[in-house]
Amino acid sequence: MTRFAFPCLKLTRDYLAAAVFTAITASTSVGFAAEKINIYSHRQQVLIQPFLDAFTSKTGIETNVVYSSKGLAQRLKAEGPASPADVILTVDIARLSEYADLDLLAPVDSSILRANIPSRLRSEDNRWFGFSERARILVTSKTRVAEGAVLDLEDLAKPEWKGRICSRAGSHDYNRALVASMIAAHGEAATETWARGVVDNLARKPQGNDRSQAKAIFQGLCDVAIMNSYYYGNMKFGDKADQKEWAQAIRLVFTNQSNRGNHMNISGGGVAKHAKNKAAAIAFLEFLTEEKAQHLYGKINFEYPVNPEVSVSGELASWGRFKPDNLPIERLAALAPKAQMIIDRVGW
Amino acid sequence: MVAAFLSNFARAQRQPVDRWSVGVILLCGLILGPVLAVLVAAFGDSGGLWSHLYDTVLGRYISNTLILMAGVGVVAIGFGVSSAWVVSRYDFTGRRILEWMLLLPAAIPAYIIAYSYTEFFEYAGPLQSGLRHLFGWQSPRDYWFPEIRSLGGAILVMASVLYPYIYMVTRIAFRLTPTSLFEIALVHNRSQFWQVGLPLARPAIMAGLALVMMEVMSDFGTVEFFAIETITLGIFNVWLGMNNLVAAAQISIVGFGFILALLGLELYARSRQQYVSSSRNQTPLAMLAPTKAGILACWAVCVIPLLFGFFIPVGVLLGLVATNDLLADFLAIRSIIGNTLIVAALAALVIMVLSAFIVVTATFRAGSKTRKLALFASTGYAFPGTILAIGVLIFTGQFDRAIAALLGAQFQGILITSIGVLFLAYIVRFQAVGYGAMISGVRRLPANMMNASRVLGQGYMDSIRRVIMPLLKSSFLAGMMLVFVDVMKELPMTLLLRPFNFDTLATYTYQFAKDEMLEVAALPALMIVLSGLVPVILMSAMLRRYR
C-alpha cells in the first residue's frame, strides 16, 4: 500500500509545489528591474503621495503603498520574515509605539536622522523617528470669547466655560494623547479631576471630528473647542466655501505658553524589521527629514518641521511662534493606557 | 490525528464517513480558522483590564449595543417585510420598478450614509436651513430638532440600508408560498398576511434578520461617526487606546456571544416548527388589486424605506458631484471601478459556490452536527471587519508556516503576501450571506424531493444537479447579488489586507470621506451605488424568469 501511495503523494506534492511557485513568481515578478521600497502607511495616500513623488524623482527609487488606518502592525507581525514591507509610516506616537512594542522595527544607525531630528522626537534605540510635529490647540469664537480669556488647557475645567466647550470623543487618539500630556504634567488624580471638569463643561455630547468642532463654533453651539492646528489651514485653504467661513469664525490659541508649552504630537515612521531593501528604506527616512520634505509637511498639511535647521514659513509662520511642550514624545505613548482609563471613567 | 477526529466525528453521527460531509467539515474548518484565531487571541493575559472596563464602560457598551440591535431589527423588519408583502401580493402601477429599487439601499455603504445623513439633517444642512427660512428662526436656541448623531439616528440610518437583507429573502418566501394556502385564507375570510404569509415566511425573515443583527454588531463606521459607544467601538478603544489586543479580542467575544445566543434562539424556535409543502404551484398566484387608497398605501410602504435608504443619501451625493468635473473624475477612477467589479464578482461567485456546496451537503448528506457546524461557520459576519481581518492574518500566518515546513522555505508567506488572503477574508465574512440565502431556499424545498429522486434511481450528484439546484437557482442568484454588493462596499478588511497600490471604490471613497471631504468622496460613492445597480437589475430579471 505504502509503496504505491508514496510516489503518488510525492508527485502530487511536486505538482502543487510547481504550480504554487509559478503563481508566486508571476505575482511578484513586477518591479524586479527598478529599485523600489514597499510602504505600509497609516497616513492617507493623498497626504504622502507628494513626498513619494519627490523621493522617486530625486533617487529613481519607486514606491509601493498599502494604506490602512488600523491593523497594519498586526499584518506585519503575521507576515513575519516573509513580509514585503520596508517602511512604516504613521501618525500619532501611539501607533509608532505599537510597532515598537511588537518588535517590528529595525534599529537604524543614521547620522543624518540623528542630526535632523531632536532626540525627544525619536526613540532612544533608534527604531522610530518623528518627521513632523502637530500642535493640538484650543480654538475660540472670535466674537464671543475675548482674546486671552483662555490661556491654558487647565482653564477648560473652570466653571466660566460651563456649556461652552465642544470636543470630539475623548478616546480618539488625539484627545487621548492630550490627556496623557496632562498626566505627565499633573499626575493621574489631578488629571482625572480636570477631565471631569471638562466633560461637565461640554456643550454637547462629544462627536464628529476636529473640523466639526470649528463648525460648531461657527454655528454658535459652543465657544471653545479642542483642535489640531493643521485643520485650521486645511479649512482656510480648502476648496469648500462653508469651511472657509468656519475658519473665519475661530481664533487659534496655543496653550500653556507661560508654563510647559503647547501639547505636541508627531507623524513618524521606521524601517521594518524584515525589510528587503533596507538601504533604500533608510534613504527614504532621511529624505523625509531634509529641507525639501520638511517644507512639504507645512505646505501640504500645515504641520511643523522637526528639523531645527528648517524654518517655519508662509501660513504656518503667520500663526505666530509658540513654545512647544518639550516632553519626550515617548512618554505620551507610555501614559496612553492610563489616559484611556481616565477617559472611560469620566465618560468623555 | 485529523483522520481520527473525522472518523470520531462521523461515528458520533452514526453515519459512515462520507466524502461530501468531510469536504464540508474541512471547508467549515477553514472558514472558522480566523474566527478561532480571534478566540485564541482572547485567551491571553489582558492585564487586569476587565475590572476597569466592568466598572466604567462595559455596561454602557452592552446596553447601547442591545438597544441598537433591537431598534434596527424592528425598523428593518418593518421596512423589509411590509415592502416585500406589498410588491409580491398587490398589483399596482410602478410595482415592477419599486420591486427592484427596494434592493438599492443595500449598495450604499454605512459610512457613506452616515456622512450624507449628517450633511442633510444637521444644523447647516438643507432640511434645517429650509425650516429656519420657513419659520424665521435665527439660531439653534430658537427651536428643537432631533440630533441625527444619536442612538435613534443610528437606528434609522442603519435600518434604512440593512432592510434589503430581509426584503430580499422574504419576497422570495412570499412568492414561493403555495397558492392554495392563500386561497384557504381567502375562503375562510382570514388575513392572508398575518395568518399565511407571515408565519410561512418566518424562516426567511429570521435568516435576513440574523444577517442584519450581525451587520449591526460589526459596524464601526456609523457608530464611530455618531459617537455611539457600542461593543465594537469599545473593542477599538481598548485595542488602539490601551494597546491591548487581548482585551479587545475578549470584548469581541462578548459581542460574539450575543450572536450565538441569537442563532441558538433561532435554531430552538425552528426545531419546533416545520414548514413543508408537497404541492406544486400549478396555478400562479393571482395578485390582489388594491383600491385607489390602497395604491397610495402600497406606494407609501415602498417609498418610505427608499426615501431613507436611497433618495436622501443619493440626493446628497448628487448635489455634491454636480459641482465637479464629472468626466475627469470618472477617468481618474476607472481602473478602480474595474478592480472593484472584478474582485466583487469573483468573490461572489466563489462564496456562492461554497455556500451552495455547504448548505446542500449539510442538508441532504450530513448529520445534525455537521449542520450545526455549517451554521456556526457563518458567524464570521458578526465580528468587526478589522478584528476579523486580524484573525485572518493570524490564521494565514500559521497556515503559511505549516506550508513552508511541509514544502520548503521558498513557500514562506505564500498566502499572506498574495491577494489570496483578501479572498479568504471575504469568504470568512460573507459566507454568512451566502449561507443565509441558500438555507432559506433549502428550507422551502419539499421534504421528500431528494428522496423521490433517489428512489427513482438518480444518484446523489444527479439529484443535486437535476432536481435540487434548479429549484435553488433563485436563492443562489439572490445570495450572489447580496454578496457582490457586500464585497463591493466592504471597507476595513480590504483596507488592511489589500496588495500594494490597490484600491477599490470603497477604499478610495473612504480616504476622503474619513476627513469629511465628502465632495471628493461623492463620485466614487455614487459609483458604488451605480455598480450595485447593474447586478441588481440583471439578477432581478433572472429572478423573475426563474420564478
Q: Which pLDDT value is given to residue B272?
A: 55
Q: Tens digit of pLDDT for each residue in B466-504?
A: 888 888 888 888 888 889 888 988 888 898 899 988 888
Q: Is residue B21 part of a domain?
A: no
Residue B471 belongs to some domain of the structure: yes
Least confident of B140-149, B273-282, B436-445, B454-463: B273-282
- Between CA A330 and CA B3 the distance in angstroms is 52
Give mean pLDDT, residues B80-98.
89
Which pLDDT belongs to residue B185?
82
A294-323 mean pLDDT: 89
User: What pLDDT does residue B275 have?
Assistant: 55
In-domain check, residue B15 = no
Same domain, B316 and B327: no
Please report the pLDDT score of residue A15 as a whole number: 47
Buried b (16+ CB within 10 A) or exposed e, A211-241: bbbbbbbbbbbbbbbbbbbbbbbbbeebeee
Question: Does position B47 have pLDDT exceeding 80, yes or no?
Answer: no
Looking at chain B, which residue has its C-alpha nearest residue A175?
Answer: B241
pLDDT for res A234 = 87
Are the beta carbons of B155 and A236 closer than 8 angstroms? Answer: no
The answer to which of A29-38, B48-57, B513-522 has the lowest mean pLDDT is A29-38
Query: In this predicted model, which residue has the larger pLDDT, B128 or B301?
Result: B301
Q: Among A46, A259, A241, A233, which residue's Cα sits nearest to residue B510?
A: A46
Residue B20 lies in a domain: no
The answer to whether the Cβ–Cβ distance between B412 and A82 falls below 8 Å is yes
* A79:B397 CB<8 A: yes
Min CA distance, A108 vs chain B (Å)?
A: 24
B240 vs A70: CB contact, 8 Å cut-off? yes
Is B149 in contact with A345 (Cβ distance < 8 A)? no
pLDDT category, A30, cuts 50, 70, 90? very low
pLDDT at A27: 43
Whether pLDDT at A261 is above 80: yes
Length of chain B: 547
Tell whether the model's pLDDT for residue A3 goes beyond 60.
no
pLDDT at B507 over 90: no
Task: Indicate the residue of B57, B149, B393 with minimum beta-carbon distance to A344.
Answer: B57
Digit-coded pLDDT (tens) for B161-172:
999 989 988 888
Yes or no: say if B460 and B359 are a contact pair by the CB < 8 Å rule. no
C-alpha closest to that of A42 among A78, A93, A102: A93
The whole-number pLDDT of residue A184 equals 96
| Chain B, window 459-498: residues with a beta carbon less than 8 angstroms from a chain A beta carbon | 492, 495-498
Q: What are the beta bridge partners of residue A264?
A: A135
Residue B364: CB atoms within 10 Å: 18
The number of C-alpha atoms within 13 Å of B359 and in the hemisphere containing its C-beta is: 27
- Give whole-number Cα distances, B478 to A82, B173, B214, B475, B482, in Å: 39, 12, 19, 5, 6
pLDDT at B41: 83
- DSSP for B297-359 reads HHHHHHHHHHIIIIIHHHHHHHHHHTTS-HHHHHHHTHHHHHHHHHHHHHHHHHHHHHHHHHH
Give the range of the structural domain holding residue B127, as residue numbers without chain letter. Answer: 54-278+291-320
Q: Which residue has the higher pLDDT, B443 or B1?
A: B443
Nearest to B227 among A84, A205, A337 (CB): A205
Model pLDDT, residue A8: 41
Question: How far, in whole angstroms, is CA B24 from its chain's centroid?
Answer: 22
Instruction: Kindly state whether residues B32 and B131 are assigned to the same domain.
Output: no
d(CA B180, CA B190): 14
Look at residue B38 in the predicted model and tell me its pLDDT: 86
At A226, phi and psi to the nearest 5? -100, 135
B124, B225, B237 ranked by CB distance to A340: nearest: B237
pLDDT for A203: 92
Q: Which of B501, B510, B518 to mutate to test the interface with A (most CBs of A within 10 A)?
A: B501
Give the span between the Cα atoms of B23 and B381, in whole angstroms: 22
Residues carrying CATH 3.40.190.10, chain A: 36-133+265-317, 135-263+328-346
pTM of the model: 0.82
Best residue of B51, B64, B144, B242 to probe chain A, by most A CBs closer than 10 Å: B242
- CATH architecture, domain A36-133+265-317: 3-Layer(aba) Sandwich (3.40)
Residue B16 confidence (pLDDT)? 57
Q: Which of A213-222, A320-329, B78-87, B529-538 is predicted with the least confidence, judged by mean pLDDT?
A: B529-538
Q: Is the pLDDT assigned to residue A12 strictly greater than 80?
A: no
Instruction: Report the pLDDT averaged over residues A44-68.
Output: 91
Domain at B361, CATH number: 1.10.3720.10
pLDDT tens for residues B267-306?
Answer: 776 665 555 555 555 566 677 777 888 888 888 999 999 9
Res B542: pLDDT: 67
Its sign, for the CA torsion A15, A18, A22, A24, is positive
Residue B8: partners with Cβ closer than 8 Å, 6 or more residues away: none
Q: How confident is the model at residue A106, as a pLDDT?
A: 95
pLDDT surpassing 90 at residue A281 = yes
In chain B, which residues have their Cβ closer than 8 Å to the Cβ of A347?
60
Q: What pLDDT score was predicted for residue B150?
A: 85
In this structure, the answer to whether residues B198 and B302 fall within a common structural domain is: yes
Give domain status of residue B107, yes or no: yes
Instruction: Check CB contact under 8 Å for B386 and A83.
Output: no
pLDDT at B306 (0 to 100): 93
What's the mean pLDDT when you consider all of chain B?
Answer: 82
pLDDT for res B76: 95
All residues at 6 or more sequence positions from A304 whose CB lies less than 8 Å from its CB, including other chains: A132, A133, A134, A135, A264, A297, A298, A312, A316
Residue B94 and residue B216 share a domain = yes
Residues B407 and B500 occupy one common structural domain: yes
Which of these, B431, B432, B403, lies nearest to B417 by C-alpha position?
B403
Q: What is the DSSP string of B234-281?
A: HHHIIIIIS--HHHHHHHHHHHHHHHHHHHHHHHHHHHT------S--
What integer pLDDT is reported at residue B279 of this predicted model?
52
- B240 reaches A (C-beta below 8 A): yes
* Residue bearing the bigger pLDDT, B128 or A111: A111
**Among B72, B67, B287, which residue's Cα sits nearest to residue B166?**
B72
Segment among A174-183, B284-293, B383-392 with least mean pLDDT? B284-293
B64 and B134 co-located in one domain: yes
Residue A176 to residue B124, Cβ atoms within 8 A = no
Indicate the angle between helix axes A188-201 and A329-346, nearest 10 degrees: 60
Mean pLDDT of chain A: 87
Considering the domain architecture, whether residues B270 and B369 belong to the same structural domain is answered as no
B531 and B483 belong to one structural domain: yes
3-state secondary structure B139-162: CHHHCCCCCCCCHHHHHHHHHHHH
What confidence tens digit (pLDDT) does each residue in B511-538 have?
777 766 777 788 888 888 887 777 667 7
Q: Are residues B541 and B464 in the same domain?
A: yes
Amino acid at the residue B92: F
Residues B335 and B392 in one domain: yes
Chain B hits for A12, CB-CB cut-off 8 Å, are none
* Average pLDDT of the segment spanning B392-408: 88
**In chain A, which residues have their Cβ closer than 8 Å to the Cβ of B524?**
none
- B315 pLDDT higher than 50: yes
pLDDT at A138 over 90: yes
User: Strand, helix or coil at B209?
Assistant: helix
- Residue B433 phi, psi dihedral angles, 5° rounding: -70, -45
List chain A residues with CB under 8 Å of B140. Answer: 219-221
pLDDT of A223 above 60: yes
CA B108 to the chain's CA centroid: 12
Confidence of residue A186 (pLDDT cuts 50, 70, 90): very high
CATH topology of domain A135-263+328-346: D-Maltodextrin-Binding Protein; domain 2 (3.40.190)
Residue-level pLDDT at A7: 40
Q: Which three cell numbers stand for residue A203?
A: 456643550
Residue of A nearest to B228 (CA): A207
Query: Over pLDDT 70: what percentage of chain B?
Result: 89
Q: Given this model, what pLDDT does residue A31 score?
A: 40
Q: What is the largest CA-CA distance in chain B?
A: 80
B386 and B455 housed in the same domain: yes
Task: Say how many domains are in chain B.
Answer: 2
Question: Is B512 in contact with B521 (CB distance < 8 Å)?
Answer: yes
Q: Does residue B386 sit in the same domain as residue B436?
A: yes
